């Protein structure tokens, strides 16, 4: 729970710029187990959450990196950590809504029409000030996991397998689950 103030500061700073949805202390508390963070010198400098929508589908949400840590691979490390977590739960796909599709493309995500996502993925959209004129881009990554006995609720199509990425030149602290 001690991460909540840092998470609120990171997320709501971007929300103030109109590039993320704002989050309340209650929402962060309620979904704290979804979050992974990157910490440097006892300060949370990056966060992202993996939110489950079905037995096969999850969303990468609330991805935020402090401006002092941008360009050092923190966002990439967070997304890769969430992908690992998704695979450990047997998810077949992860998706995100973003203003930076090139970042996600480098990690193997493909752009899709947002209408191809399950309707329940839009629940947060209803409270967004840009709901009627949304300009975020939907991206998806097929993880190559199989989940026996459960059909996927997303679109069918070609599978994008995870890409092994080279080591980063900058050494970052370990990504950890939020607490």
Summarised one tens digit per residue, pLDDT across range 59-84 is 999 999 998 888 889 999 999 999 99
Query: Measuring CA to CA, which residue among 68, 71, 69, 114 is closest to residue 95?
Result: 114
* 23: Cβ contacts below 8 Å, ≥ 6 apart: 7, 8, 11, 12, 15, 62
Query: Measuring CA to CA, which residue among 34, 66, 29 is closest to residue 48?
Result: 34
Is 179 within a domain? Answer: no
Rounded CA-CA distance 18/24 in Å is 16
Is 105 within a domain? Answer: yes
Structure confidence by residue, pLDDT tens digits, 50-65: 999 889 999 999 999 9
Q: Work out the average pLDDT over 92-97.
A: 93
Rounded CA-CA distance 68/49 in Å is 20
| Other beta carbons less than 10 A from residue 48's beta carbon | 25
Task: State the pLDDT confidence band at 92, using cuts at 50, 70 and 90.
Answer: very high
Q: Please give the share of the chain, as a percent, with pLDDT higher than 90.
A: 51
Q: Work out the average pLDDT over 157-175.
A: 41
Structure confidence by residue, pLDDT tens digits, 116-133: 776 555 556 555 555 555
Structure confidence by residue, pLDDT tens digits, 122-162: 556 555 555 555 567 889 999 975 544 333 333 333 333 33
Is 8 within a domain? Answer: yes
DSSP at 133: G
Is 178 within a domain? Answer: no
Domain count, the chain: 1
For residue 141, give the CATH number of its domain.
3.40.630.30
Rounded CA-CA distance 127/53 in Å is 18
Q: Model-level pTM greater than 0.85?
A: no
Q: How far is CA 158 from CA 93, 131, 155, in A?
A: 12, 30, 10
Range of the structural domain that residue 118 is part of: 4-172
Is 104 within a domain? Answer: yes
């Amino acid at each position: 729970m001690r991460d909540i103030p840092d998470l609120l500061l990171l997320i709501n700073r971007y929300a103030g710029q109109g590039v993320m949805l704002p989050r309340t202390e209650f929402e962060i508390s309620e979904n704290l187990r979804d979050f992974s963070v990157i910490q440097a010198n006892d300060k949370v400098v990056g966060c992202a959450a993996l939110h489950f929508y079905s037995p096969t589908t999850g969303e990468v949400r609330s991805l935020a990196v402090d401006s002092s840590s941008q360009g050092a691979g923190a966002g990439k490390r967070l997304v890769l950590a969430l992908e690992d977590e998704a695979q450990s739960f047997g998810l077949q796909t992860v998706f995100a809504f973003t203003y930076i599709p090139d970042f996600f493309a480098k990690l193997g995500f493909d752009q899709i029409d947002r209408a191809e996502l399950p309707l329940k993925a839009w629940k947060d959209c209803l409270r967004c000030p840009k709901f009627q004129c949304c300009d975020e881009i939907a991206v998806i990554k097929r993880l190559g996991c199989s989940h026996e006995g459960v059909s996927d609720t997303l679109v069918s199509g070609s599978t994008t397998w995870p890409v092994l990425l080279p080591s980063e030149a900058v050494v970052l602290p370990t990504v950890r689950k939020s607490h």
